[in-house]
Structure 1
Amino acid sequence: MKKYITFLLFLCGTQWVPVAAQQASNVPVARFYRNNYLANPAYAGSRENAFFYGLVNHSWIGFEGAPTLTQFTADLPFAAHSGAGIQFASDKSGVLKRTLAKLSYAYKIKLGENKHQLKLGFSLTGYRQQLDNAVITSGGLYDPSAKAFNDKGWQMDGDFGAVYQNNGFSFSAAAFNLRKWLNNKENEKATNLETLNLMTSYTLTTGEKIAIKPLLSARFFSEESWIFGAGAQAVYSELVHVSAIWQHSGSISSTVGLMLHNIGEANFTYVSNTRQGQGNQYEIGLGVSFSGKK
């Protein structure tokens, strides 16, 4: 019986938990509106100044061992056409713990006047996944397959992205987890990875103080069906913003935030359950802009 329980724990740790964690940890809501660098490495350094952003995302509210993500990013422009970024993330979902670090480089190609440009970016990723030994060794037993999973140590992966912009129009395409694209082994299918993200938006200005940005998105995964999203963000006088995005899985995310001109912002997001009555989450984010000028 103890061996059977250990096996079930390991099965949950390597199959169900990564799926839940992936939906939360790899898809913070901030990527749609407040920090596009989370959605595409080509956005690294896209602001005029260095930008630091930290967030906490808690999903599957009400479930024991629900995924919790803590993530920090920093990106800045340099030289005439380049940008760089770095990301750190740590999340835990049930018996699975995951640590991730990314280094990104982006290059901007001007295609004409008035912000008509193409951006290309690449991220090199190091990640480590481990099962909680305290849980797996319950009863004095240790599953050898669990030990083999933990002994993998740090692994490497990468992302590639492109962004086309022309005045207020923007189209973004990012391929994540490039190892999955190149090496789709049957025994690696336990983890549901996001493989492709597409986003398009157009910024509309109404008067001098109000800007509205409609957005469409599509996310694709290695093991689950793709998800379509549609939403919009409204910004007033660079002081307050509100946004909402609907996904065809049935969930709706709503965000409200306060901004201080050229200094920073604070954002709060709540995501409702899907049609299956699960997966709701909340996210708190804090961003700081730093020009380095005295």
Structure 2
Amino acid sequence: MIQKIKKQTHWRIIQRAGLVFVCVFMQLSHTEAQITPLATQYYQNQYVGNPALAGMSENLIVNLDYRNQWRAIPGSPVTQSFTADYKIKEKVGVGLNLYNDKAGLIRRTRVMGSYAYHLPLSGEKRSVHFGLSVGALIERLDDGSVIAAPNDLSAARYNERKAYLDGDFGIAYISDKLTLQGALPNLKKFLKKDISNSADGSTYFLSVAYNMGRDNDMVALEPKLCIRGARGFNNLWDLGTAIKFPNNLISLVGMYHSSNSTTLGFELNIENRVFFHGFYSSQLAALGEDTGGSFEIGFQLPLNIIKLTPANQGK
């Protein structure tokens, strides 16, 4: 009887240790995944990485993206992103940013609302933009996939953690040719709250881009340099360009990353009603071989919203 009790105790210890190991491993996997931003952040949907760019268009801009990283590895990260932003006044934009990803047993959901202020400067086509996103971050363990003893409450306790406040801050300077950006994602790190449980290692984002050409040119280039900070990693950088063809009917994107990986993609303009894009990123060198790289697909919908004004309220 005593030996049976000891065996059960040892088995519970092994199960709990295994669960802790899985959680730690998947948190590290999440961190690796999260230091790699969505490819649309570079050109197609820059609001997703900088709240200062919410409401830059007179239209309601809706973006939906799906990414599958390291698809050759079971439990590899899968990400879904939804954003919608709109200029409600001449100098004010608002946005909604939903982000969900799952790596192994851990699911992470982030819901953010954004406010941006757009300030024109003296001179032609020069402006400064400020933005703030505030919302909640929720991390949960897929206890339905956990193999453990019925009375092992480790997974349930992990899921009892409450959602906590999170936020992003961004700024941008935009002229006819030059675009400068800076963003501080995951403002919770400044609050010193629940940092150890966060799977997102991003600390800051900087970028500089220069537009070489006009919309009607046969070929227009927009080279871009990005610098990203990440907890526990050296500073990361991305260098590449967008190649745009007449009237933005099609554009190509190529980026090289300091992680020794490459991202290639395209965007197709379908009658200015739908913008479809797709990307492929080669595997991170640090992960070794046979990870399968990552695929990302999505689309953008510019929706024309009629604003109520004194001139049309009675119509």
TM-score, normalization by structure 1: 0.91
Q: Residue in 2 aligned with 1:193?
A: 201
Residue 173 (structure 2) aligned to one of 164, 174, 185: 164
Does 2:165 align with 1:152? no
Q: List runs of 5+ in structure 2 lacking aligned partners.
A: 1-10, 308-315
1:252 counterpart letter in structure 2: T
Mapped partners of 1:44, 1:24: distance in 2: 25
Mapped partners of 1:193, 1:231: distance in 2: 23
Q: Residue in 2 aligned with 1:72?
A: 82
* Structure 1 residue 291 displacement after superposition: 1.5
Q: Residue in 2 aligned with 1:241?
A: 251
Mapped partners of 2:145, 2:17: distance in 1: 11
* Structure 1 residue 52 displacement after superposition: 0.4
Q: List runs of 5+ in structure 1 lacking aligned partners.
A: none
> Do the aligned partners of 2:30 and 2:200 also contact (CA within 8 Å) in 1?
no
Q: Residue in 2 aligned with 1:217?
A: 226
1:203 counterpart letter in structure 2: N
> Do the aligned partners of 1:177 and 1:195 also contact (CA within 8 Å) in 2?
yes
Displacement over 6 Å in runs of 4+: none
Specify whether residues 261 and 201 from structure 1 end up closer, same or farther in structure 2 by C-alpha distance, changes over 3 A only: farther
TM-score, normalization by structure 2: 0.86
Q: Map of 1:91-240 to 2, 5 A cutoff?
A: 91-136=101-146, 138-144=148-154, 146-183=155-192, 188=196, 191-205=199-213, 208-237=217-246, 238-240=248-250
1:194-233 Cα deviation digits (max 9, x unpaired): 1111111011116624221101001111232221110000
Does 2:298 align with 1:289? no
Specify whether residues 71 and 25 from structure 1 end up closer, same or farther in structure 2 by C-alpha distance, changes over 3 A only: farther
- The 3-state SS of whatever aligns with 2:213 is strand
Aligned length: 291
Q: Residue in 2 aligned with 1:6?
A: 16
Using the aligned pairs only, state the percent identity.
24
Mapped partners of 2:141, 2:197: distance in 1: 17
> Do the aligned partners of 1:25 and 1:57 also contact (CA within 8 Å) in 2?
no
